[in-house]
Every structure is written in structure tokens, then in C-alpha cells.
Structure 1
Amino acid sequence: MTSRPILSVKNLTTSFLVDGHWKPVVRNISFDVAAGETVAIVGESGSGKSVTSLSIMRLLAANASRMEGQILLDGRDLAALSEKEMRGVRGNDMAMIFQEPMTSLNPIFTIGRQISEVLTRHKGMNAAEARSETVRLLEKVRIPNAKSRFDDYPHQFSGGMRQRVMIAMALASKPKLLIADEPTTALDVTIQGQILDLIKVLQQEEGMSVLFITHDMGVVAEISNRTIVMLRGEAVETGATEAIFNRGQHPYTRALLSAVPKLGSMAGRRLPMRFPTVDIATGVSVEPSEERDTVAKKGPILEVKNLVTRFAIRSGLFSRQTGAVHAVENVSFDLRAGETLALVGESGCGKSTTGRSIMRLIEPMAGQVMLDGYDVRSLRGADLRRMRKSIQMIFQDPFSSLNPRMTVGAAVAEPFIKHKLGTRQQAREKAADLLERVGLSSAMMNRYPHEFSGGQRQRIAIARALSLDPKVIVADESVSALDVSIKAQVCNLLLDLQESLDLAFLFISHDMAVVERVSHRVAVMYLGEIVEIGPRASVFENPQHPYTKKLIAAVPVPDPARRGVRRGISNDELKSPVRPVGYTVPDRSYREVSAGHLVQMADSGL
């Protein structure tokens, strides 16, 4: 006789009120979560996976949403409970962790108070008991010096540590079911690895069930026993995770798996490679061939030598400088036409500041930047504007970089007009051509940014960057916010454009699996310094610096056989780049491992 599941969802349909009509966004979904089991719901933006989790928690606005079907938690019908009864269930019998912990934590209360409130409310503990239990929970989720951090505020924690606080809060009442909605999406790869390991360990210790919502197939493989694949509000395939990965039947499942970059898949290949193209209707995947060599025997178009960028920290009545953030410290590299150099590292390592300093969007303190014959640091006024025709930037969030009041045709044409490169008619014709080149229709020119998907908006941003015929493009986390299949499409587009226009890319990213696929060379940054640089194949197949090894080891691998693996990653936070006034930067030396592969020899404090 099998035991009753902890969670049983039967024929759940959730609809939203749109223009006076009920529009179903989740349709007729059914699944169970057994005691101690992890079930993953996977799908891309708009698939209905988060709406499913919010429906189970009954967190959707009652006046704008409608739920049909049955949700049983340990045999109890949640749909039949009053809101007061439901408040007793939330946090007590089931708890939820959200994607962005800063929006879930109250910034004006200490984290100790916020966790203690759960214990006093649901467990009836007094203040002293709640404090003691809170410290125990913080220690359980591996927060260093838990007792001393009880009275710290959310802004005093890093993103990864805030997510640990959210997990501690969720575990406070020992729930039977933990719902984790994209809990690692906003985190750096090593922090993501820590959180995944933590959830696995805590699940074993507490014996709780986990419903894990994600779009990352690598994460699914590492954490779940069973997987539900969602597409446009429906569950299109359900089964054991191993069966889904190895014998997935639905075309969309196969399309999702084909689009996932697999670390190590480029072994033995010297040049970048496009992602497979997949027909979502049929699931047929076409494997690409290796790129042609676009770089051989070309001189550098960008040379960066000993670049330094620091931000002063001031405090006190007279705003005296008390320290500085050493964001970029003595960074040197070059970039050739047709080449992609990836700058990789975690948040705060200085990679985005490096890109902005090269373009003079941020003023560097020292160093030399030579771009297409320009001495970038010496330029002023009209010369600086002319230089920017040679180098353009694509940002992470295309929605915030496009003017919502401007049509996409006008947005793409604007740089051409501002730089007085031709008439308005010529600008419009160029914009139409560029939209076609990035895979959109010129008939879309009169639409506004909100009328496009995230992937389409990023294509528009790329078209805009190309309007000045640049020779170098700084792509700053330009695919990190995109769904897996859209990410593959945009990466393929960048490689196509590189081949046809001889573009050089400075590809800034923390996604090591994507970097391995698209780059010729890789530079690894840690605390503002390049600690390892070299040909992509050499860095990935023979990493030498401890930090490079740590980054590669943390990448989720889309292989269910690895579900029991623990990485043993350090739980320490990334060290601070803040230094006191008068701090002297140690001299750094590099050794050459192989041709062009250099590794910093000085101790970086890892």
C-alpha cells in the first residue's frame, strides 16, 4: 500500500480576469508530490509554472483570479479553507521561497526579528526562545557568525546570504512542503551551487517535500526526482527526471534539452560553435558545424593596458574619503577583429565596470585604452562621440535600455541621426535593414517595446547597437535574463553577425556554459583583477587558478545521474573589494601555462 502524497493537485485551472473575461493561464494540470520527494516544474517565461505555485499557496488576488480543481495538502482541501485558515497553513504546513529575496524581506526590520516573528506567530514561542531558535536556523543554513548577524538588516547581506535567510524563514515552522520558485535564477553560479547543495542537505535532514520551479534544465537534473514540463499553461510531459532527460517524448521537451549548453561539450574544439537549432513543433534538432576562423593573423582592434577604476567612499560630516572600491585593478588584455573575448566572474568582480571604463561611461583612474586608432582616455567632446561609433554596448535588460515612448524603428535609427550619418529617410531605411538582419520584420518598426517579448527586445537592442557600424561590441550579460531557447537563438545571432560583419565582442557573463560555446578566449576576473586569461579551450580544459576551478565546478550539469553529487563548495561570500585610504596593491606576476594561457601567481586570498 502506497502512502498518501503530501501534495495532490487535481485538474487545476487558474484564470485571470482580462477585459471582463476569464482567461485561463493554467489549464487542467494534475500531479502529486510524495513525502521526501522533489518534483520540478520546468518551462519558459509565460508557461504558467509560477502561477501554478502561487495557486497552490493561494497567493493570487481573489478579485482578479479564479481557481478550479482540487489542491490537497496532506489530505486537506486548500480550496475549501477560509483566508484565516489559509494563513495558518502558510508558513506552518507549507512555505515558499521566491526568486528575489530582497523583495520578500522587509528592509526596515532586522533579519533576526523577521525570522523570530514566524516562530512567535506559528509556534507560540516567547522572545528568548524565538531568538535561540532563529540563531540555530541561521547556523543550519550555513550563515557564518549567525549569533552576531541576528541584528543585521537585509541590505547588509549579499544576494546569496539573503536567499539563505529566506530558506531559514521558510524552515522555521518545519513545513511538510517547501515551494521554491526560481530560488537560484538571480544568483551567481557558485552561490547557486551552494543553495542547491543546501536545499538537498536540508531536505534529507528535515524529510520535507520540495516543489521546485525553474527554467534551468541543469538545475532540474541536479535536484529533482520527477519533472513536469509546462508549455503555454499545460503540462505537456511528466515523468521521472532521468526518463525525461534520456527519453523525452514531447517535441518541446527535446527542444528545451537541446538548447541547454552543456559544460564540456566543446572539448577538443578550438573555435566557437552555434547552438543546435530545434523545431519546437517536431523536436528535430540540427547540430551546427564549428565556426570558420574569423580571427587568424589580425592585429588588435582594442588594447587595454594596466586599467584602474576605483570609486571613492566618503563618510563623516565633511565627506572625507575613508576608502575606495578597487573595482578594476591593473587589467590588461587585447581584442582582435572577429574575436570574442569573454570576461567571466561573479557579481562585484569588476567585469561590467571594465566594459564601461573602456567606453568612458565610467572614468578610469589610470591605464591606457587604444581603440581602432583612438587613445580613448585622452578624448574629449566631439572626438569622444566619434570614438563611440567604433564601440557599442548591449545591456542585460533591453526593456530598460529602450525608450518606452519611442517606436522600435525610431530607437534603432536614433544613433544614426544623432551622429549625422545621413538623412532621416536613410536612417529609416537602415533601421528596416537592421531589424531584418536580426531576425525581425521591418513591418514591426512602428510598434513599441512593450509589444515585444524579452528575446525580441534584445534583438532590437542588438540592431540599435549595429546602427553605427561599430567594430567592437561590449555585450554586458546580454543573454543572462533570457529563457534557455531564446538565449540559444540570440547567441547564434551574435555569432552570425560576427561572421558577416567581422565584429569583435567583449562578452561579459557569469554563465560559464554559454561562455564555453561562444568565445575564442576567456579572462577570469576576481576582486577587480584578471587571475587567468587564455584560449577558451585551454582555460576550460586545463584551469589553473583556484577561482577558475571553483567557477567551473559550480556549473549545474544537465545529467540526472549527478543528483546525489555534493560539490563541497565553500560557503564563504565573495570578499570585499573595499580598501582603506593608502592601500598599496601587491605586485602581481603571471606564469605562462601554454601559448597565450597566463595565470596569476600571487595569492588572491582564495
Structure 2
Amino acid sequence: MAFDLDTGQPLLSVRDLSTSFKSLTGWTEVIRDISFDLHAGETLALVGESGSGKSVTSLSIMRLNPAGRTRTSGQVLFEGQDLLHLSEEQMLRVRGNDIAMIFQEPMTSLNPVLSIGFQLGEALRLHRGITQAEAMKEAERLLERVRIPAARARLSDFPHNFSGGMRQRVMIAMALACGPRVLVADEPTTALDVTVQAQIIDLLKELQREEGMGILFITHDMGVVAEVADRTLVMYKGNMVECAPTREIFANPRQNYTRALISSVPRLGSMAESPAPRPFDVTDRETAVQSTPDFTVAPVRPDEAPVLEVEGLRTRFPIRRGLFGRLVGNVHAVENVSFDIRPGETLSLVGESGCGKSTTGRSVMRLVTPQAGSVRLGGQEMVGLGRSALRRIRQDIQMVFQDPFASLDPRSRVGSSIAEPMIVAGLDRELIRQRVGDLLEEVGLSRDMARRFPHEFSGGQRQRICIARALAVRPKVIVADEAVSALDVTIKVQIVNLLMELQARHRLSMLFISHDMAVVERVSHRVAVMYLGEIVEIGSRAAIFSSPQHAYTRQLLAAVPVADPGVARDRAPAAFGDLRNPVKPPGYEPPRRSYRKAGPDHLVRIDEF
């Protein structure tokens, strides 16, 4: 992507943009004097931690902050007209047609009671004035372009029928529907795995080349910044820290905060010489001083009996159509998955969105009911257990979910949320009160925070609360389902280190579900790679990352963004083919799989796609 930054009239020119929010105590300024230009064909990255003001900047440009409670000053010039002075009716014509936005959380942007096809078609009919039939045809083309399998069949599905990554692809398709001149992308790849992330980035680049679109790309992932951005603007606590060409930012960052952001990026291959998982170096955001956590992860003893054994696990979801709910197919989410985890060991499940990682974790927890297979926890079979027996055994296996805000009851104080598992377990109330405070301190919070509500905490703090709740009944196994994927890089490092410290202290076993390959390399003893509901390769961390054998594993590793603009621009991921459709007709049974041994404790599926 080549663009001369010194010539031409900018598409979008922001001058001295400041935004304040009204509270009970008065007006609070959250961003101050933000200025930049965005040219046609250019990508400008806004980077910084959660709370730095990135999203408020984008919402201020689009005039989507709450009316009556927001005060915005400065200029936002789009092709010469100041958007801050347009009427709401005029802004409705600008949004979608001229400037489109992709939001970070698709479930808050998609209507849960309307089909995906209707929502895509509605945007097309509103802005293009085309017929319903034409809108549906164009919607199908857009879904295919963002690589959603069986696009025509999925037009009638609802948002809850899609995985998180698939929903984000729908949002990208919706934003690009009317060919906008400027695209504001607010963390558009945060919830996506590395291969789909690479494809979405390539798609945005292709559209940019074709239409001369300017992209304001908001992210906390410095690897993605190196991949997509021509220029980078770094923000901290509502202020501009520095703005320069991306190559210059990475080669010669002028500010300590920028250096800290870059140094905090997990780098693939950094564990090549380490025989066991190792915590991240902790970076102080203000001074960029490095220090090493004072704990080590205990090695796993291979002679110990596994604490969790999964064998032949199969989970499918029926698809029904028509007035009488006729079965027309099944989503083969998990097929013949087998693994075990020993005390103090971390097994990571990796793969694309929709590959069955989260469904595997939920099936192990019995949050969804598998159709076949065995899940033994401490030697006791979980599949087939009744409600009361399942409640007792779940004290030994707990889960940390991806979205901590959705996991916590917004009406309950966090102390009550942490206490709930202990109340269910029948512990003494005085003991529970003491233990809630102890747990908060153990995850790096203070005891008096127990009386606060979830909305009073940052995303990283909410995830710490969820970890405290998971530890409440002293489990043997933690299932961490994308527990750090939505967090910015410095908070992600802190949460990962916290999980590893707790594992070392309590000899916890972890099933770590993630699409972040650099984090997986750092925390794992063993890694299982999933594709289309099946494990295609499983082995030690060193074997998977140093000597990947399956073509899909190699593609996953090749797609990881590198926090180096020179390397990232030349990266070409290995082709593996499109993600196949997991929806199969009734009665379909997959072929029997066979594996070869590629080394000690390293198995690779023979039949490749």
C-alpha cells in the first residue's frame, strides 16, 4: 500500500478534538486536543491501552456519543465540511454511505431478533435504494467476501447462531456494504483468530486499493499495527503521545510509553530456548522499566495420573427448519476429540473461530451436553451425571469466560458474585466473607472492592474478579476460554502472569483456549491444534512451535502478525484452503481418522484436506 502523505487533500482532517462527559460532579474531559489527517488510500492506526481514549475519539468523529451528556469541541472536516456542525439528519446520510464504522463487540451492534440477511439487506436498501431481492443477493456476496461458509444458507440465521469471529465478519460485511470513503475500524480483529485476522486485513487492503478508502484503524495489537498502518498515533489517558510513520514508531519510538507498548508485545519464538512455560516480563507503562516476576512454573511430572481425561468427545447441534421444526442438518462442532491433562499442566486448544475450541471447553464443563464420549475428572465420569452430582463435581473444575462483563451480574456486587459458588457448595457464611476478601487480594485487588458493582471496574479488573470467582471453591482444573483475547497488550500480560502464578501456587491444571499463538507459546506445556471440530495435531509446546507437521498448524503460525513493519509487510501465509462448512446433512458420519507419531508425545493426523 503506497501513498504519498505529503500531497493531496485529506479525506478526513481532525483538529484539536476534545470531548467531555457529564457526570454528577460536572464535566470530565476524556480526550484533549487530538489532531490528525487521513488521506485516501492511507491507514492511520490509533493505538493505546484500554481507557486511553481511542474509541471515544472514533465515536466523537462519528457523533455517536450520548446526546446531552457529551460536549465536543474542535473540528472534524470530511471533504471540507465540518461534521460537528451538521444536523442529525445530515449525519445519518454521512454514516454508512461516506464514513462507516466497525465496532469491537458485534453482539451489541447486531439485533438478536432479526436474521443476518435482514440486517445486511436493511442497510443496503436504506443507502442504495435497491429491491429486497437485490439486497439479499448482494448480502450473500458480501458474506462470501468475508469468508463465511455456506453464505446463502446462513442469511436466514440469527446472530446467536454464529461464533464470535463469524459475527465480527458480518459486521465488517455490513460496514463495507455501501463502499464508504472512510472506514473507522474499532478493534475489528480483536475477537478473531490469527488466520481470519490475516484474511480480514488482506480484505481491507484489497478494498482500500480498489476504492481509495481511508482507514482509521483502532487497536491495541502492535503486531496488527505493523501489518496494516502507514502512520501510527499513540494515545495515553486521552492525550496524543506521538504520531509518526509506523516504521519510524517501531524503529525509533521517542516516548517511554510507546517503547513500553512495543516491548509488551508477546513475540512468537521467544520461548525457543525455554524447556517450560515462563511468565512474561512485566513492563511498567510509565517508565518502561523491565522486571521479572518472582515465581516459576513447576514442571509437570509425567508419572502422575491425569486429573482430566477426555476421550472420543462428540458434540453436535441440530438445525431445524419449517413450522414443525424438521431436522435439516447438524453442526458438527466437536468430533472424536481426545486428550488428558496432568496436575499442574496447561494444555492449550488453538484454531480458527468455529473450529470447536469453545464448544470443547463447554462440553468438558457439561455446559452443553455431548452426544458421545467420556469426560473423567479425577477418575469420575462426568458425562451422564445428574444435576446434583454434577454440581458437586463442578467444584473441582471451573471456567473463566472471554467476556468478563457478560459473566458478571451487573445488579450484584462483585463480592456476592465471588461468594455464589461457595454458597452453592454450602460453606459457612463467615468463612465465605473472609475468603472473598482473601481471593480479591490474591488476584491483585483490595478487599474493600467487594462492595462495588461490575461497571465500576476496568476490563482487566473484571477478568481478575472472574478468576477469583473461579478459584472460590479451590478447583483442580481451570478452563480458560479466550480469557485474555479482548484485553489490551499490557493488561493481557498481567492476567496471563496472574494465571501462571496461581497455577504455580496451587498446582492448578488448565485447559487454555486461545487464538493468540504468542501467548499460547508462553503459557503451555502441550498444545492441541483443532480444525473443523477435530484435533489435527497435538504435542509438546516445543514440538508444535519448533517443528509443526500438519499444514494447518503451519498456516496458523505463518499468519501470526509480527511487531516489525519490515517483516510484516513481506509476510505471505501458507495457503491451506477455505474453512469448510461444519454443517452436515442428517445421518452424516465423518471418516475414521488415523494419526502418526511424529515424536515423543507428538501426534499428527494423517489425512490432510
**TM-score, reference length from structure 1:** 0.88
Task: Supply the distance in 1 between the matched residues of 2:575 and 2:103 (Cα, whole angstroms).
Answer: 23
Query: Partner residue of 1:56?
Result: 61
CA distance in 2, matches of 1:84, 1:312: 44
- For the 8 Å contact 1:111–1:150, the answer to whether it is kept is no
The Cα shift of 1:133 comes to: 11
Gaps of 5+ in 2: 1-5
Q: Hey, what does 2:128 align to over in structure 1?
A: 119
Q: Which residue of 2 aligns with 1:385?
A: 391
- Partner of residue 516, structure 2: 511
Kept after mapping to 1: 8 A contact 2:551/2:576: no
After superposition, the C-alpha distances for 1:379-405 in whole angstroms (9 at most, x for unaligned) are 445443332222111122223333334
What is the aligned counterpart of 1:339 among 318, 342, 345?
A: 345
Q: Give the structure 2 partner of residue 123 of structure 1.
A: none
Q: After alignment, is 544-553 or 335-344 more displaced?
A: 544-553
Aligned partners of 1:111 and 1:152 also within 8 Å: no
State the partner residue of 1:73.
78
| Most deviating of 136-145 and 29-38 | 136-145
- 2:398·2:475 contact (CA, 8 Å) conserved in 1? yes
Equivalent residue of 1:377, what SS? Answer: coil
Q: Which residue of 2 aligns with 1:218?
A: 223
Tell me the equivalent position of 2:606: 601
CA-CA distance at 1:564 after TM superposition: 3.0
Q: Does 1:558 align with 2:558?
A: no
Matched, 1:528 2:536: no
CA separation in 2, counterparts of 1:583 and 1:140?
A: 25
Does structure 1 retain, via aligned residues, the 8 Å contact 2:140–2:152? Answer: no
Identity level (%): 55
Contact 2:123 2:174 in 1 (8 A): no
Cα gap change, 1:17/1:403 in structure 2, threshold over 3 Å: closer, same or farther? Answer: closer
Cα distance in 2 between the residues matched to 1:404 and 1:147: 36
Q: For 1:479-498, what aligned pairs fall within 5 Å after superposition?
A: 479-498=484-503
Cα distance 1:60–1:511, how it changes in 2: closer, same or farther (>3 A)? same
Amino acid at match of 1:111: L
Residue 181 of structure 1 aligns with an amino acid whose one-letter code is D
Residue 436 of structure 1, aligned match among 437, 441, 457: 441
The answer on whether the counterparts of 1:102 and 1:154 sit within 8 Å (CA) in structure 2 is no
After superposition, where does 1:362-401 map in structure 2 within 5 Å?
362-377=368-383, 379-380=385-386, 382-401=388-407
| Higher mean displacement: 150-159 or 225-234 | 150-159
User: C-alpha displacement at 1:358, in angstroms?
Assistant: 2.1
Is the 1:97–1:170 contact (alpha carbons within 8 Å) kept by the matching residues of 2? Answer: no
Counterpart secondary structure, 2:191: coil
Tell me the CA shift for residue 181 of structure 1. 2.1
Contact in 2 for aligned 1:143/1:164 (Cα 8 Å): no
Shift of 1:251: 2.7
Correspondence 1:229-268 to 2 at 5 A = 229-268=234-273
Q: 1:87 to 1:359 in 2, by over 3 A?
A: closer
Change (3 A) 1:568 1:402: closer
Partner-residue secondary structure (3-state), 1:564 = helix
SS of residue in 2 equivalent to 1:187: coil
Distance 1:443 1:205 in 2: 55
Residue 493 (structure 1) shift = 0.5
* CA apart distance, 1:49: 1.2
Aligned to 2:3: none
> Is the Cα contact below 8 Å between 2:146 and 2:200 reproduced in 1?
no
Shift of 1:543: 1.5
CA distance 1:130–1:299, shift in 2 (3 Å): closer
Label 1:148 to 1:331 Cα distance change in 2 as closer, same or farther (>3 A). Answer: closer
Write the distance in 2 (CA, Å) between the matches of 1:326 and 1:289. Answer: 44
Query: What are the superposed Cα offsets for residues 423-469 of structure 1, whole Å, 9 maximum, x if unpaired?
Result: 22122222222221111112222223232222112112211221222
Residue equivalent to 2:300: 295
Give the match's secondary structure for 1:525: strand
Q: Secondary structure at the match of 1:523?
A: strand
Residue 416 to residue 570, structure 1, CA distance change in 2 (3 Å): same
CA contact (8 A) 2:401 2:482 kept: yes
Q: Secondary structure at the match of 1:305?
A: strand
Shift of 1:309: 2.2
Structure 1 residues 131 and 351, CA gap change in structure 2 (3 angstroms): closer
Out of 541, 552, 569, the residue aligned to residue 546 of structure 2 is: 541
TM-score (norm 2): 0.88
Aligned equivalents of 2:337, 2:316: Cα separation in 1: 12
Cα distance in structure 1, aligned partners of 2:78 and 2:402? 39
Cα distance change of structure 1 residues 505 and 127 upon mapping to structure 2, 3 Å threshold = closer
Write the deviation string for residues 161-182 of structure 1: whole angstroms up to 9, x where unpaired.
Answer: 42452343241x5x2x332222
User: Is residue 499 from structure 1 mapped to residue 508 from structure 2 by the alignment?
Assistant: no
Give the partner amino acid of 1:440: L
Deviates more, 1:348-357 or 1:69-78: 69-78
Distance 1:389 1:146 in 2: 40
Q: Does 1:274 pair with 2:279? A: yes
Deviates more, 1:201-210 or 1:316-325: 316-325
Structure 1 distance, partners of 2:385, 2:324, is 33
SS of 2:431 mapped into structure 1: helix
Q: How much has 1:184 moved relative to structure 2?
A: 2.0
Is the 2:104–2:186 contact (alpha carbons within 8 Å) kept by the matching residues of 1? Answer: yes
Q: How far is the alpha carbon of 1:113 from its aligned partner?
A: 5.8
Contact in 2 for aligned 1:303/1:334 (Cα 8 Å): yes
Deviates more, 1:479-488 or 1:497-506: 479-488
- State the 1:534 CA deviation: 0.3
RMSD: 3.3
- Asked whether the 8 Å contact 1:271–1:291 carries over to 2, the reply is no
Query: Is structure 2 residue 329 aligned with structure 1 residue 323?
Result: yes
Q: Radius of gyration: which is bigger?
A: 1
- Residue 578 of structure 1 corresponds to 583
Aligned to 1:359, which of 344, 365, 385? 365
Deviations 1:462-496 (A, max 9, x none): 11221222111111111122222111111000110
Q: Distance in 2 between matches of 1:164 and 1:444?
A: 38
* 1:84 to partner: Cα distance: 4.5
Give 2:423's aligned residue.
417
- Partner in structure 1 of residue 39 of structure 2: 34
Aligned AA (1:601): I
Pick closer, same or farther for the CA change 1:164–1:585 going to 2, 3 Å.
same
- Post-superposition offset of 1:581: 2.8
Alignment correspondent of 1:168:
176
Cα distance in 2 between the residues matched to 1:18 and 1:28: 21
Letter in structure 1 aligned against 2:333: A
Decide which moves more: 224-233 or 566-575. Answer: 566-575
CA shift in 2, pair 1:317/1:13, >3 Å = closer
Residue 167 of structure 2 corresponds to 159
Name the aligned partner's letter for residue 329 of structure 2. G
Residue 98 of structure 1: aligned partner:
103
1:194, CA displacement in angstroms?
Answer: 1.0
Counterpart among 191, 194, 216 of residue 189 in structure 1: 194
Contact 2:96 2:175 in 1 (8 A): no
Can you list the C-alpha shifts for 1:236-288, whole angstroms capped at 9, x where unaligned?
Answer: 22222122223223232222222221122222322112112111221112256
